[in-house]
Amino acid sequence: MLLRLLDLIENIALWVGCAALLIMGALVTGSVLGRGLFNKPIPDDLLMIGLLMVCVIILPLAYVERSNGHIAVTVIADRLPKPVQTALTILGRLIFAAFIGTMGVVIARKVPKEFEQGLYYDGRLEVPTWPMKVVFAFGVAVFLLRIVTNIIQDLRGSDDDAVT
């Protein structure tokens, strides 16, 4: 039941990331057309594109982990015994989780203060700073849940790496 819920959240996060990529493309296209045809680009277009990049990169991360889609060079590791391969996989996952998790915690700790102070990015639209930080923290939390799930499966010896 919990795994299905996690799968659902990962799938939704993936599609939100895909939608963000499409919106980024539309912003770039609209801004270029606006600048070229009317000499008026979309205000704060580069800022919004940069913020949407958070969705594109972080939200699909758990889905990629679920499908073992990360880039890995295993020329030597594939020749090692299975228990050593499993140990190296778990070690890699722990290091990756520590790295991304640390960034997530640092960003998440900033959100309440930025919300309280009403901080925003300079520009015509005065876009608040906290929403994409919340998205980042959410994406990292889902990713960490998937990492823990995969480590438990590795320890149990499960080879169920299929994408659902």
Instruction: Label residue 158 by pLDDT band (50, 70, 90).
Output: low
Domain carrying residue 43: 2-156
Q: Is residue 33 part of a domain?
A: yes
pTM of the predicted protein model? 0.86
Mean pLDDT of 34-63: 94
Conformation bin of residue 44: beta by default, left when phi > 0, alpha when psi is -120 to 50: left
Q: Is residue 109 part of a domain?
A: yes
Number of domains forming the structure of the chain? 1
The predicted-structure confidence for 128-154, as pLDDT tens digits, reads as follows 999 999 999 999 999 999 999 999 999
Q: Which residue has tokens 């913020």?
A: 51
Q: Is residue 162 part of a domain?
A: no
Distance between CA atoms of 18 and 128, rounded to whole angstroms?
22
Q: Is residue 163 part of a domain?
A: no
The predicted-structure confidence for 68-115, as pLDDT tens digits, reads as follows 888 877 888 889 999 999 999 999 999 999 999 999 999 999 999 999
